[in-house]
Structure 1
């Protein structure tokens, strides 16, 4: 059995993680927090995913930002999805 202690990344795809961050922060705020071109030059989910899959240091920074803001991101997205 896969026994995971509290791990906010467990079971979350990179696409879901990036989508939630973009919905919460937007690309301009993401580009200020993490200085990578995929957030500033013609940003899209697909181009961001392609870059992060090929660039481990950038992926680690994005995952760290997600973990740091895990509860805020999920609370905001849950409220948005429930129609509040």
Structure 2
């Protein structure tokens, strides 16, 4: 583990990986309901969702929190 982020459970996990695993767990429709983010509600794709999440810190934070809650135990 890097000395820069020794306590960060998301260190080394790519946003694309998080999104893919959340999609497999919930699907677009349920992600849209849980997170209330339009990129998951209106014609969602991996590419468009990743582009939006990379530009929008508050949305990325919601995705990261759900990922931690769902996948990291």
Q: Would the TM-score normalized by the shorter structure come out above 0.5?
A: yes
Residue by residue, what CA displacement relative to the aligned partner does 1:4-49 show, whole Å, maximum 9, x if unpaired? 23x4311110001100100111011101101111101110111000
Q: Structure 1: give runs of 5+ residues left out of the alignment.
A: 73-84
Aligned residue number for residue 12 of structure 2: 11
Runs of 4+ in structure 1 displaced over 4 angstroms?
none
Hey, what does 2:48 align to over in structure 1?
Answer: 47
TM-score, normalised to structure 1, is: 0.76
Consecutive unaligned residues in structure 2, runs of 5 or more: none
- How far residue 71 of structure 1 moved from its aligned partner, in angstroms, is 4.1
* Number of aligned residues: 71
User: Residue 2 of structure 1 corresponds to which residue in structure 2?
Assistant: 2
- Two-structure CA RMSD over aligned residues (Å): 1.6
